[in-house]
Amino acid sequence: MENGSRYGSLEIIRFLHENRTEGCSEYGMNVSAFNGFLDILKYKHYNKIGGCSKPAMDNATGFGHFEILQFLHYNRSEGCSGRAMDNACSNGHLHIAKFLHENRTEGCSKRAMDMAIHNGDLECVKFLHFNRTEGCSKDNRTLHKEYYISNSKIKTRQS
Q: What is the pLDDT of residue 21?
A: 84
**Residues 29, 1: Cα–Cα separation, whole Å:** 10
Q: Does domain 81-158 have CATH number 1.25.40?
A: yes
Average pLDDT, the chain: 88
**Residues 9, 53: Cα–Cα separation, whole Å:** 21
Fold matches, 1-80 and 81-158? yes
The answer on pLDDT for 47 being more than 90 is yes
Residues 134, 114 contacting (CB under 8 angstroms): no
Residue type, 130: F
Q: What is the pLDDT of residue 8?
A: 85
Alpha helix (H) ranges present in the chain?
2-7, 10-19, 26-35, 38-46, 54-62, 66-75, 83-90, 94-103, 110-118, 122-131, 141-158
The answer on pLDDT for 142 being more than 70 is no
Q: What is the pLDDT of residue 106?
A: 97
Architecture of domain 1-80: Alpha Horseshoe (1.25)
CA 129 vs CA 14, 80, 107, 156: distances in Å: 46, 22, 13, 35
pLDDT digits (tens, 9 = 90+) for 16-30: 989 988 878 888 899
Q: How close are the terminal C-alpha atoms of the chain, in Å?
A: 37
**Residues 60, 104: Cα–Cα separation, whole Å:** 15
Q: What is the pLDDT of residue 156?
A: 40
Give the pLDDT band of residue 147 (cuts 50, 70, 90): low
pLDDT digits (tens, 9 = 90+) for 93-139: 999 999 999 999 999 999 999 999 999 999 999 999 999 999 998 76
Domain boundaries of the chain, sorted by first residue: 1-80, 81-158
